[in-house]
Structure 1
């Protein structure tokens, strides 16, 4: 049909397989699955030549760039997008985690040699958000030391509960935004004073004078200058979004002379989605479901996100399920 005539959104979801196409081999009607909202053409030339499917020129996001997403009674997904639903989770819990969890997993473990190692300090922006709450648990699981950046003490305490060593309240600093012109020495001095104060706060929380080997970024324009400054020599800033803007200013002296890495990361591939699902299925990682809304509240859920008024963690909406706890099995 005409895909421009309507749009079904929703890039996360969990449900029961109702029917399968003739070429499907690994699924059957009745299977309970979680969907990774990352689509690609398995016949694409770059994939056939060995590319990570998540980097393919054919890659797109289901329920966002593509149609027939999860905000409907029936959704149409490709076979490789579906993963076994963790039995212990409710439908709401299973539906809330994949986009944020798989994205964080790829950021932290998908970019060799900059994967989290035991003892690594890791700075996590938006620690109480959907990405952050998963990233904190993953860094802790790998033996790293997660330190969260948050916008309130309440959110900071939630990060500590999830395993963060501590948190930094970004409201205590005012140097956020675009990097000044590096020829304007007075403006650069003011910016550096703010960035260095932030770095000292990081040391205080960590308990030693070490820089983060990995910085998990998604906030973009307001924070990239600080992230690139603070990141350790030969460390990595890995970014999957730009919620405060897409102009990422970088003082190239920090990038080349300190031999740092600025790495883009988008969604995840099927293996990474399966591995984070395994960690959640085993109870190692909590999906951090904090709010469940009804189907007719989808608009309200988006407004909460837009206004940054959502509770810490991930949100879900009920489409077919009747209760927030429906679907969980012992």
Structure 2
């Protein structure tokens, strides 16, 4: 970067203080939600028709670029500004777009593998920010969300959001890298556990149907299970690798069952606006579970690193009063 400092923060809400040359649809004083990616609208690949979020110029604002949300003032492009849902507080508005739009694209952006009424959907990390949004979006679209969790508190959170049921991952032992296929004993033990996991999915669903979509972000620990469990011609769609970046895939299941392993990264402007409409209409809740102050930014990042966050999403106030003050 040209600057010798970096301001992080990749989503937020606030009031427009000033506008630059050529801005048409955003005005000073507007109440807006800020989405999480930037790109060059004049880039050759975008002009040729590519989805902007897949452009070679796309970057995560406040992470790969400077002047993010963790400051009194920030700098964004016009297309990042979405109308703030009137029913939401400022902190609620600041908490839903990154996880929500990411989940929305995963579930609706990859034709023909989009959630349709009755589709079973397996959601890893069901009580986290991404999982909380994915559960609600799946339900709104008519799908059947089944969430993976690690304790009773997180189970209650997912059921409240509309999950058909939950699977406690701590009751299974097959997580991590896929065993060597030539190690018959290890592979047999892994297969027995993954089938037991699948039987639990069937039990919750009430019928022997595989998930049409598996919403992934955990990566290394769970990809082997996701690929095995996914329905014929179904999709495993992944937006991260929180347990590691090695993804072991038994290619026999991928090609012979014609499954799809799809990478997905945040969302485009249309998807952000469609999600915001669902939030504004009260169909999707931001699931704000923790609000901190500016000085707590390091703390909440540590909570995420330690996987000890409360269920849902978090927000911090930057030079702002509490919503009820």
TM-score normalised according to structure 2 size: 0.99
Deviations 1:276-322 (A, max 9, x none): 00100010100100000011110001011111111100000001321
1:1-330 to 2 correspondence within 5 Å? 2-3=2-3, 5-325=4-324
Shift, 1:194, TM fit:
1.0
Q: Which moved more, 1:21-30 or 1:224-233?
A: 21-30
Query: Distance in 2 between the 1:132 and 1:182 partners?
Result: 32
Aligned residues of 1:237 and 1:263 also touching (Cα < 8 A): yes
SS in 1 for 2:166: strand
Query: Distance in 1 between the 2:295 and 2:66 partners?
Result: 19
Shift, 1:205, TM fit:
1.0
Query: Distance in 2 between the 1:2 and 1:111 partners?
Result: 36
Query: Distance in 2 between the 1:222 and 1:284 partners?
Result: 32
User: Post-superposition, which runs of at least 4 consecutive aligned residues in structure 1 deviate over 3 A?
Assistant: none
Aligned residues of 1:254 and 1:260 also touching (Cα < 8 A): yes
Query: Distance in 2 between the 1:228 and 1:70 partners?
Result: 37
Aligned residues of 1:92 and 1:325 also touching (Cα < 8 A): no
Which runs of no fewer than 5 residues in structure 1 stay unpaired? none
Q: Which moved more, 1:301-310 or 1:100-109?
A: 301-310
Aligned residues of 1:91 and 1:325 also touching (Cα < 8 A): no
Aligned residues of 1:288 and 1:313 also touching (Cα < 8 A): yes
Shift, 1:325, TM fit:
4.2
SS in 2 for 1:58: coil
Query: Distance in 2 between the 1:296 and 1:131 partners?
Result: 24
Specify whether residues 322 and 143 from structure 1 end up closer, same or farther in structure 2 by C-alpha distance, changes over 3 A only.
Answer: same
SS in 2 for 1:126: coil
SS in 1 for 2:6: coil
Query: Distance in 1 between the 2:278 and 2:320 partners?
Result: 24
Query: Distance in 2 between the 1:136 and 1:29 partners?
Result: 36
Shift, 1:182, TM fit:
1.5
Query: Distance in 2 between the 1:150 and 1:325 partners?
Result: 33
Query: Distance in 2 between the 1:2 and 1:121 partners?
Result: 48
Query: Distance in 1 between the 2:42 and 2:184 partners?
Result: 53
Deviations 1:199-234 (A, max 9, x none): 011111111111000000000000000000000000
SS in 1 for 2:91: helix
SS in 1 for 2:145: strand
